Amino acid sequence: MSTHAKTLIAMMTLMLCACGGGGSSTSPQSSTVPSVSVATPPSLVGIYDVDYGQFKGVYTFLEDGKFSGIHATTTIFGHPYGTLSATSSIDDARPITWVNYVVVQFGHEELGATFGRSLKDGVLSLRISSASMGSLNATVKEQKTWGPNSSKTLYFDPIPLDSLAGNYLGDSVSMGVNTEPQFVSDFVLDRFGNYRFSWASCNFQGNVKQHGNTGVFDASVTPTGSNCKYKGALSGIAIPISFVNNKAVLSFQLDSPDRLQSLALLMQAK
């Protein structure tokens, strides 16, 4: 198995593991840790593991109604995002942008994409649909934690930026630039939130800044290069997917203001 494949499998194992209770974030991973509800129950804000059966992912909901997600297993399948109204529900789904990499490798926007979420009796219900994918449902009962041996949540217990700084590598997918998925091996994030990496014919320089008191980071990036196909700056969020043994997996979900171009990265600390 190639180093690239091993890296992606390790990343997604961390990304999609079940939440556990007890212990510290630096304890070794264990596949036998029982699933225990964490102190903070689901709400309309947070970072959550999502399982639609057909695919899995991680969703982020912010206090201003913004929603951003990544669908992935051993590769990145999709990136839905949008702004949800206070009255949005699974029975009153609203239009969103859903970038899908399943059918077209270069990425395309799903037609007629909608999304809704409802909270009842401590259970967060989700429904996403599009013309080609149909309607898919999932339920969430707990916030996503730092890792299988941690009771700290990724949203309400922020990981310090100093702890996330370092060198990363991983997978990336795009929309609107007619470029195949790229493996990024030179991603660097410093303790001030500045990051840089190269990708296809582009060089990227960006910044992340903590979103309020949460574990989410507001992210922006500027591409440069004479042959770079990105037309301008991208913005969105960056979130830690896991933080185990002082090693993070980060997800960057970045989009152009006109929604015609996007870039999603899944980065594993070296």
Domain holding 225: CATH number? Answer: 2.40.128
Residue 41: the pLDDT is 65
**What stretches of 59-191 show up as alpha helix (H) in DSSP?**
161-164
In terms of domains, do 82 and 190 share one? no
Taken in order 4, 145, 220, 78, the sign of the CA dihedral is positive
Q: How many domains does the chain have?
A: 2
In terms of domains, do 135 and 193 share one? no
Residue 109 is assigned to a structural domain of this protein: yes
Strands 56-61 and 108-109: unpaired
For the chain, helix (H) and strand (E) counts, in that order, are 2, 18
Residue 11: the pLDDT is 52
Distances (CA, A) of 186 to 96, 126, 198: 32, 36, 7
Residue 173 is assigned to a structural domain of this protein: yes
Residue 117 is assigned to a structural domain of this protein: yes
For residues 225, 228, 230, 233, the Cα torsion angle rounded to the nearest 10 degrees is -10
In terms of domains, do 260 and 217 share one? yes
- State the Cα–Cα distance between residues 146 and 240, nearest whole angstrom: 8
Other CB atoms within 10 A of residue 52 CB: 15
pLDDT tens string for the chain (270 positions)? 444 544 444 454 445 443 333 333 333 332 222 333 333 568 889 999 999 999 999 999 999 999 999 998 768 999 999 999 888 899 999 999 999 987 656 788 999 999 999 999 999 999 999 999 999 999 999 999 999 989 999 999 999 999 999 999 999 999 999 998 999 999 999 999 999 999 999 999 999 999 999 999 999 999 999 999 999 999 999 999 999 999 999 999 999 999 999 999 999 999
Residue 28 is assigned to a structural domain of this protein: no
Residue 152 is assigned to a structural domain of this protein: no
> What is the value of pTM for the model shown?
0.86
Distances (CA, A) of 134 to 17, 77, 138, 174: 26, 16, 14, 23
Do 152 and 145 contact (CB within 8 A), yes or no?
A: yes
In terms of domains, do 172 and 213 share one? yes
Distances (CA, A) of 176 to 106, 179, 226, 234, 260: 8, 8, 17, 12, 6
In terms of domains, do 8 and 115 share one? yes
Do 59 and 84 contact (CB within 8 A), yes or no?
A: no
In terms of domains, do 224 and 264 share one? yes
Domain interval for residue 184: 161-269
In terms of domains, do 128 and 178 share one? no
Structure tokens at 268: 């594993």
In terms of domains, do 104 and 174 share one? no
In terms of domains, do 97 and 194 share one? no
- State the Cα–Cα distance between residues 144 and 17, nearest whole angstrom: 10
